[in-house]
A and B are shown apart, each in its own frame.
Chain A
């Protein structure tokens, strides 16, 4: 039995995940919590947010994020990948910066019109 704090929403439910019984989750108050509990044990993932260089705007950094959660152990690799990105204004929210980043199936997208 593993105890976790659910990070799906700000409520922060205290989950118990039974690894021996098909990752059965208790303590959740919604179906997304059950899914999170199961994934957190078998394949933990996080949405990563950061900034990349941008030129031609009044600011020097443009905020970006992964379009979906990526494997937790790839967070730092993703940060390295972002270092080589340089955008040019104008960019639009949702615009893809890196497609299928590191083969995760997730894209890096712009999160602010600049």
Chain B
């Protein structure tokens, strides 16, 4: 049987895309999920704060995922769990494997890539020192604690102020561990300010900005201590600033990487700025009929935005199968001053109904500022912001009328007001 749509990944992005494709007329839909149940990373994100935009209430991760999982039974969407996607070919065949079904090849008319992202590890940032047990990525520790029920340590140091690290600082503290400090190499925090407030400040956990771990020590195979040093403007450790922490665990929250092995295997163009596929306004990749959404495209800070973006991808997949490929002239989006990337990277104005939503991140902290949109050096739109930070995803709406006026390219830039 040929599927109209195969969605790779049953996390928040894949679920929203599949449901949206169903609501827009597709019936033969399959979701390929490698875990035993759908829900993705939300299942281990047991903290609250999800769904404020989407459902106007504060839910935990599993609750948010549950609301989407509950939509499946009324549909013809097939969910293959415990099934690993291995390869996507140019003729839209999806190769996958599971213990139950063995090696399978499914044909699809369209594909949505929703594989999410994974954590950067110790190897990626090259921390010197011994290689003991007790060094975990924050997300791995979160899974051990919240899903498997293992306490990973008693005296904890956290490197990186990303949201997962902050959330784990609170979680480990509530479970009885002593979290000694959170250490961040940048001069600003990379997580949401609310998480600094409710995860660190609530428990008097110090945050060392412009500091990093410069040594890891081991005793009997287990982590026995870490050295933390201040860093200069070039992020190089400053000799003489070393502090020793007597800890048995180091959690790393040092960034996330979109998981695009399947995307690459299909020969789909990847944007080096996001490490995700280059996408159009409707989340279509550079390969016709293949769409992408969620953290596989760019790392989001709010799942609410993932759901919205993924519904757009699901709807677009349905339109592709039912009406054929979207067409029209293409505008290229470029990142100007202080903007590190934009998503989408390409917009076809003919394919935009009212406005195109553009996500981006800034590369430094801004107080009162302006987001300026230029086309061929002409300022065509401006948006005010009170505060922007690299840890917080920004978005603007570009109205269709404005896109129709743009000439070939658009640049998004930020500057102080």
Q: Which chain A residues have a beta carbon within 8 Å of chain B's beta carbons?
A: 4-10, 12, 14, 46-51, 53, 58-61, 63, 65, 72, 75-76, 79, 93, 111-113
CA distance A101 to B94 in the complex (A): 49
Q: Is B193 an interface residue (CB 8 A)?
A: yes
Q: Is B91 an interface residue (CB 8 A)?
A: no
Chain B residues, CB < 8 A from A61? 146-149
Residue among B36, B46, B58, B201 having the largest count of chain A Cβ atoms under 10 Å = B46
Report if A63-B58 is in contact (Cβ < 8 Å); known contacts: A7-B194, A10-B301, A111-B63.
Answer: no
Report if A93-B66 is in contact (Cβ < 8 Å); known contacts: A10-B52, A63-B46.
Answer: yes
Residue among A58, A65, A75, A76 having the largest count of chain B Cβ atoms under 10 Å = A65
CB nearest neighbor in B for A29: B386
Chain A residues, CB < 8 A from B227? none
Chain A residues, CB < 8 A from B49? 10
The smallest beta-carbon distance between A76 and chain B, in angstroms, is 7
CA distance A93 to B52 in the complex (A): 18
For chain B, give the interface size range. 35 or more
Counting residue pairs across A and B whose Cβ atoms lie within 8 Å, the total is 82
Question: A111 near B62 (CB under 8 angstroms)?
Answer: yes
CB nearest neighbor in A for B46: A63
Q: List 5 A-B residue pairs with CB atoms under 8 Å apart, sorted by A's residue number.
A: A47-B48, A48-B174, A50-B174, A59-B147, A61-B147
Q: Is B286 an interface residue (CB 8 A)?
A: no
The smallest beta-carbon distance between A104 and chain B, in angstroms, is 16
CA distance A99 to B68 in the complex (A): 27
Chain B residues, CB < 8 A from A65? 46, 48, 60
Residue from A5, A47, A75, A79 within 8 A of B58 (CB atoms): A47
Q: Is B47 an interface residue (CB 8 A)?
A: yes
By Cβ-Cβ distance, the 3 closest A-B pairs, closest first, are A12-B193, A112-B62, A63-B46
CB nearest neighbor in A for B176: A79
Report if A111-B46 is in contact (Cβ < 8 Å); known contacts: A5-B194, A7-B197, A60-B149.
Answer: yes
Q: Among residues 375 to 407 in chain B, which have CB atoms less than 8 Å away from a CB atom of chain A?
A: 387, 392
Question: B149 near A76 (CB under 8 angstroms)?
Answer: no
The smallest beta-carbon distance between A69 and chain B, in angstroms, is 9
